[in-house]
């Protein structure tokens, strides 16, 4: 699709593959290509689940520091908006998104992984937000998505110190959801994606939107979001098929409509 980011779809699973040697540094071009890939798979009816994968060596080592080093405040004030928008495009994919993490997921790489719904990491993976060691803070969602995932105290620990955590600690604090041998990372992500790929697409999208939007508001508003999503699904063929299959004691055959 792009110079450094490609998309492949097989068995209703889309893989967004980042490949910028050596460690997938996320320069502006890569960020924009990731955002375009996210919008593509979100709109493609053949994609029911999505994997973001950086290859066997590294998920993404972070932003391209050389590219940022010479930027002024005025330049970054403008650039930071599009930086966040590129990552938010991944977070807003209305399908299950799985980050398959090998090697480094640092800085922007960690922030990209935070945009996924699930994170599968290799045993030797290293994650973290080391921006503080450069005299800056995370700028692509790290100060917001990380505390929502692991809690404010642990997020402050990682962001204030800039330290890296290994896969075992990442699992213990909830930063990743599963740890597997390095060579099994992509396979494990595929297996997880397959559990969603044959499901009712509209219902999964509705569930994701209700959860994500509900977390950003009060309970009453969240319940209203849920009610509207719940009611709206009764207009879908999949809902009728699901309930008919239940009464007929058979497996449903969802079509995505």
Q: What is the pLDDT of residues 194-253, one digit of tens each?
A: 999 989 999 999 999 999 999 999 999 999 999 999 999 999 999 999 999 999 999 999
Distance CA 106, CA 61 (A): 5
Whether the Cβ atoms of residue 109 and residue 62 lie closer than 8 Å to each other: yes
* Percent of the chain topping pLDDT 90: 89
Q: Is 184 a catalytic residue?
A: no
Cα torsion 128, 130, 132, 133: sign: positive
Q: Is 36 a catalytic residue?
A: no
Q: Which two tokens stand for residue 181?
A: 């041998």
- What are the start and end residues of each CATH 3.90.226.10 domain in the chain? 5-197
| Phi, psi dihedrals of residue 178, rounded to the nearest 5° | -155, 140
Whether the Cβ atoms of residue 5 and residue 43 lie closer than 8 Å to each other: no
- What are the start and end residues of each CATH 1.10.12.10 domain in the chain? 201-247
Q: Among 46-55, 63-72, 123-132, 191-200, where is mean pLDDT lowest?
A: 63-72
> Quick one: pLDDT at residue 54?
97
> Quick one: pLDDT at residue 153?
98
Identify the band that residue 97 occupies on the pLDDT scale cut at 50, 70 and 90: very high
Q: Give the up-direction half-sphere exposure of residue 138: CA atoms within 13 A in the CB hemisphere.
A: 29
> Quick one: pLDDT at residue 82?
87
Q: What are the pLDDT digits (tens) for 105-138?
A: 999 999 999 999 999 999 999 999 999 999 999 9
Identify the band that residue 64 occupies on the pLDDT scale cut at 50, 70 and 90: confident
> Quick one: pLDDT at residue 92?
96
Q: Characterize the bridge pairing of strands 13-18 and 5-10.
A: antiparallel
Distance CA 182, CA 226 (A): 38
| Phi, psi dihedrals of residue 135, rounded to the nearest 5° | 85, 15
Its CATH architecture, for the domain 201-247, is: Orthogonal Bundle (1.10)
- My answer on whether omega of the bond before 180 falls inside 30° of 0, hence cis, is no
| Phi, psi dihedrals of residue 68, rounded to the nearest 5° | -85, -25
> Quick one: pLDDT at residue 130?
96
Q: Characterize the bridge pairing of strands 126-128 and 164-166.
A: antiparallel
Give the helix/strand (H/E) hosting 109.
helix 108-114
Q: Examine the pLDDT at 1 and tell me if it is beyond 80.
A: no
Q: Examine the pLDDT at 68 and tell me if it is beyond 90.
A: no
Find the catalytic residue in 111, 191, 226, 241.
111
CATH fold of 5-197: 2-enoyl-CoA Hydratase; Chain A, domain 1 (3.90.226)
């Amino acid at each position: 699709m792009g110079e450094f980011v490609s998309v492949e779809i097989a068995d209703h699973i889309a893989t967004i593959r980042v490949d910028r040697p050596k460690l997938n540094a996320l320069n502006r071009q890569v960020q924009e290509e990731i955002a375009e890939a996210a919008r593509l798979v979100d709109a493609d009816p053949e994609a029911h689940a999505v994997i973001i994968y950086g290859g066997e060596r590294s998920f993404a080592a972070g932003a391209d520091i050389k590219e940022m080093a010479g930027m002024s405040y005025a330049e970054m004030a403008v650039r930071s908006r599009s930086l966040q928008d590129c990552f938010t495009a991944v977070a807003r994919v209305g399908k299950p998104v799985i980050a398959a993490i090998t090697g480094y997921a640092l800085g922007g790489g960690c922030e990209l992984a935070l945009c996924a719904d699930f994170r599968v990491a290799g045993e030797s993976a290293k994650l973290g937000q080391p921006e503080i060691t450069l005299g800056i803070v995370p700028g692509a969602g790290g100060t917001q998505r990380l505390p929502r995932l692991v809690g404010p105290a642990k997020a402050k620990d990682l962001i204030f110190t800039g330290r890296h955590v290994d896969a075992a600690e990442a699992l213990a604090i909830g930063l990743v959801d599963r740890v597997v041998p390095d060579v099994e990372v992509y396979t494990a992500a595929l297996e997880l994606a397959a559990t969603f790929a044959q499901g009712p697409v509209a219902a999964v999208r509705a569930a994701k939107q209700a959860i994500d939007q509900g977390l950003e508001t009060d309970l009453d508003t969240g319940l209203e979001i849920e009610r509207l999503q719940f009611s709206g699904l009764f207009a879908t063929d999949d809902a009728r098929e699901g309930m008919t299959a239940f009464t007929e004691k058979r497996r449903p055959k969802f079509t995505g409509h």
